[in-house]
Chain A
Amino acid sequence: MTTDVVIRATDLAKTYRTPFRRKKVEALRGVSFEVRKGEVFGFLGPNGAGKTTTIRCLMSLCAITGGSASILGQPVPSRAARQRLGFLPEQPYFYDYLTVNELLDLGGRLFGIAAAERRRRADTLIERVGLGNARGQSLKKFSKGMLQRAGLAMALINDPDLVVLDEPMSGLDPVGRKEVRDLILELRDAGKTVFFSSHILSDVEQISDRVAIVVGGKIEDVGRPRDLVGRAPLGTEVVLAIVDDADGAKDATAAIAARAEKVRATPGELLAVIGPGADVDDFLVFAHRHGAKIISVMPRYETLEDLFLRRVAASHRGSAPEAVPP
């Protein structure tokens, strides 16, 4: 076991049983991955894939029914490991009668942090997550985004080595999402390890050093985003301006569309997608001859979203996973 592995899941399995009928629901079916020290690790998957169940198992909220897991070198469940980790649950629920100061004080007490240090950390974190103006308000008056920020502050009260965030961007507006992304990158720069789940693929792609894709309770892919997606171009996207002449434009669009794999016309413009084997130069000359002006030419590679959708589609073609308890 290498010492720089912060989270290790080996054939992790979780089977729920319904209380009376004893029906089995397999939420995780052999999940294996490793998260290394200092990296931002994105955990991707569609709804019901097992992301939250995996996190709940790692956080000792659920008992593991198969396989094993370790966090910070300690087998799960471990109080010693929890001393060094911060956790933000999905859609965090807190005691709504507390203020954010009191919430962080409670968190600090549970970590055994001395009173003066608790106050200092709470003040710093409240400012850091942008809740300085809401210190005196009870959490009951907080918006969803504000609660998410309070949860992030709570997750950082112990200055953790590992931060586990379950859907941290969920419910946030674009500004809030960017702030969370920036915070995650700040944490990485400070030497922390961040493990987060999300189904907002663009966010994951932007900030993750490595990702795992879980579908139907199984890991489908693990690796750096650029290594997971194919390197061969999927085609070329050409944006053309069509001269604004009613009949000519129609003819030009029809002619160009016949040579493209796919087209989408908007007033005055045409987006044409040429297949990977087609001659781009030849296509551009052809379009130019038909009076089109070339605005942009962009080779298109597979994205994380393409890969993700491919995996989900393949899973749906195979045996459909059973629904996971919410």
Chain B
Amino acid sequence: MMGRLWAIGLNTFREAARIRVLYGILMLVIGVNLLAIVLGEMSIHEQARVARDAGLAGISLFGSLTAIFLGVFLLYSEVQRRTIYAIVTKPIARWEFVVGKYLGMVLVLSVLVALFSAAMLALLTWQGVALSSAIGKAVVLAWCEVLTVAAIAVFFSAFSSPFLSGIFALALFAIGRVTPDLRAAASTADASWIRTVSSATLEIVPDLHLFAISGRSVDGVAASVHGDYVSWGYVAAAAGHGLFWIAALLVLACVIFQRRDFV
């Protein structure tokens, strides 16, 4: 089984590595980091904070957008271009194909997040910003978020066109980032239907807010990359949340993919 997953994953990595848009995104992230330096210089005594925030936001945002792009494109294109015919007629289960594709995306996204982070760290060092373990924790959390978003995109791609999958995945990404507001709406909104809808949404959307730790409070506890407020325990708990959603979304994607006719 591992050999088959590796074969599919490696092939997915090869395919993704050919997509030139990814190199453009990498350049964009470097550009965002450079912009952060300029913005930092414009601020008063907040150069480090702005540089860190912009760098991490770049990893999170562009990493997630790349995850959506790859997630909705790579699985769908296998069916659309009929390359899947030569694969699923081999002794491979369809779930292995879906998971293999996801693992290939994990490989690509991990390399990208590593490159994004390296660019950010290089620029922070150049700017003379002190590096701490909090940045490492923030990067790990951003990586978990990107992988969770990739699973969301793969899930939608299992049954929908790239356009719709992209819209759905973007919507979930956006909603997942505002869970504190949803939680507030669920408990304090005047209209009962808003409370109901907010509560229901919180149940079916991964809490991506957990992965953003720039000066925020999570469950009343300060969580910030700008100080040593974030423990590895918190990182592990957030990663566990992401892992749960990744597993759930992939199981659903596999169940849907199992029932598909390839015509």
- Report chain A residues within 8 Å CB of B261: 16, 56, 61-63
Interface residues of B in 214-263 (CB under 8 A from A): 259, 261-263
B interface majority secondary structure: loop
Count residues on chain A whose CB falls below 8 Å from chain B CBs.
31
Q: Which of B85, B91, B263 contacts A82 (CB 8 A)?
A: B91
Given known pairs A61-B261, A63-B261, the reply for A110 and B85 (CB within 8 Å) is no
For residue B130, CB closer than 8 A to chain A, the reply is no
Shortest B79–chain A CB gap in Å is: 10
Complex interface: stretch among A93-101, A170-178, A197-205, A238-246: A93-101
For residue A83, CB closer than 8 A to chain B, the reply is yes
Cβ B89 vs Cβ A59 within 8 A: yes
- Report chain B residues within 8 Å CB of A94: 83, 86
Could you say which of A60, A92, A93 has the most chain B C-beta atoms within 10 Å of its C-beta? A93
For residue B92, CB closer than 8 A to chain A, the reply is yes
Cβ B263 vs Cβ A62 within 8 A: yes
Mask: chain B, 1-42; 1 = CB below 8 Å from A; 0 = not: 001101100010011001000000000000000000000000
Whole-angstrom CA separation of A112 from B2 in the bound complex = 10
Cβ B82 vs Cβ A89 within 8 A: yes
Shortest A28–chain B CB gap in Å is: 12
For residue A254, CB closer than 8 A to chain B, the reply is no
For residue A154, CB closer than 8 A to chain B, the reply is yes
- Report chain A residues within 8 Å CB of B85: 59, 61, 87, 89, 92-93
Cβ B89 vs Cβ A87 within 8 A: yes
A interface majority secondary structure: loop
Whole-angstrom CA separation of A85 from B18 in the bound complex = 32
- Report chain A residues within 8 Å CB of B3: 109, 112
Given known pairs A79-B92, A82-B90, the reply for A95 and B7 (CB within 8 Å) is no
Shortest A13–chain B CB gap in Å is: 14
Mask: chain B, 150-180; 1 = CB below 8 Å from A; 0 = not: 0000000000000000000000000000000
Shortest A47–chain B CB gap in Å is: 15
Interface residues of A in 52-109 (CB under 8 A from B): 53, 56, 59-63, 79-80, 82-83, 85, 87, 89, 92-95, 97-98, 106-107, 109
For residue A225, CB closer than 8 A to chain B, the reply is no
For residue A50, CB closer than 8 A to chain B, the reply is no
For residue B131, CB closer than 8 A to chain A, the reply is no
For residue B93, CB closer than 8 A to chain A, the reply is yes
Cβ A62 vs Cβ B259 within 8 A: no
Shortest B12–chain A CB gap in Å is: 10
Shortest A297–chain B CB gap in Å is: 50
For residue B45, CB closer than 8 A to chain A, the reply is no
Could you say which of A63, A83, A106, A326 has the most chain B C-beta atoms within 10 Å of its C-beta? A106
Could you say which of B90, B261, B262 has the most chain A C-beta atoms within 10 Å of its C-beta? B90
Shortest A38–chain B CB gap in Å is: 22
- Report chain A residues within 8 Å CB of B88: 60-61
Whole-angstrom CA separation of A83 from B82 in the bound complex = 21
Q: Which of A63, A97, A110 contacts B87 (CB 8 A)?
A: A110
Cβ A92 vs Cβ B4 within 8 A: no
Whole-angstrom CA separation of A106 from B6 in the bound complex = 10
Given known pairs A62-B262, A80-B91, A325-B263, the reply for A110 and B83 (CB within 8 Å) is no
Given known pairs A16-B261, A79-B92, A97-B18, the reply for A107 and B86 (CB within 8 Å) is yes
Query: Which chain A residue lies CB-closest to B81?
Result: A93
Cβ B90 vs Cβ A63 within 8 A: no
Cβ B18 vs Cβ A154 within 8 A: no
Given known pairs A82-B90, A89-B86, A93-B82, the reply for A110 and B259 (CB within 8 Å) is no
Query: Which chain A residue lies CB-closest to B100?
Result: A110
Mask: chain A, 149-162; 1 = CB below 8 Å from B; 0 = not: 00100100000000
Given known pairs A61-B262, A106-B7, the reply for A97 and B14 (CB within 8 Å) is yes
Given known pairs A97-B14, A97-B18, A109-B7, the reply for A92 and B86 (CB within 8 Å) is yes
Shortest A122–chain B CB gap in Å is: 14
Whole-angstrom CA separation of A326 from B88 in the bound complex = 19
- Report chain B residues within 8 Å CB of A61: 85, 88-89, 261-263
Query: Which chain B residue lies CB-closest to A110?
Result: B90
Query: Which chain A residue lies CB-closest to B97?
Result: A110
- Report chain A residues within 8 Å CB of B87: 110
Query: Which chain B residue lies CB-closest to A27?
Result: B263
- Report chain B residues within 8 Å CB of A98: 11, 14
- Report chain B residues within 8 Å CB of A87: 85-86, 89
Could you say which of B6, B14, B15, B85 has the most chain A C-beta atoms within 10 Å of its C-beta? B85
Cβ B4 vs Cβ A60 within 8 A: no
Interface residues of B in 66-122 (CB under 8 A from A): 81-83, 85-93
Whole-angstrom CA separation of A62 from B262 in the bound complex = 6
- Report chain A residues within 8 Å CB of B90: 82, 107, 110-111
26 contacts between A and B (CB under 8 A): A56-B261, A56-B262, A61-B263, A63-B259, A79-B92, A79-B93, A80-B91, A82-B89, A83-B91, A87-B85, A87-B89, A93-B83, A93-B85, A93-B86, A95-B11, A95-B14, A95-B15, A95-B83, A97-B18, A106-B11, A107-B86, A107-B90, A110-B4, A110-B90, A112-B3, A112-B4
Q: Which residues of B contact A (CB under 8 A)?
A: 3-4, 6-7, 11, 14-15, 18, 81-83, 85-93, 259, 261-263
Q: Which residues of A contact B (CB under 8 A)?
A: 16, 53, 56, 59-63, 79-80, 82-83, 85, 87, 89, 92-95, 97-98, 106-107, 109-112, 151, 154, 325-326
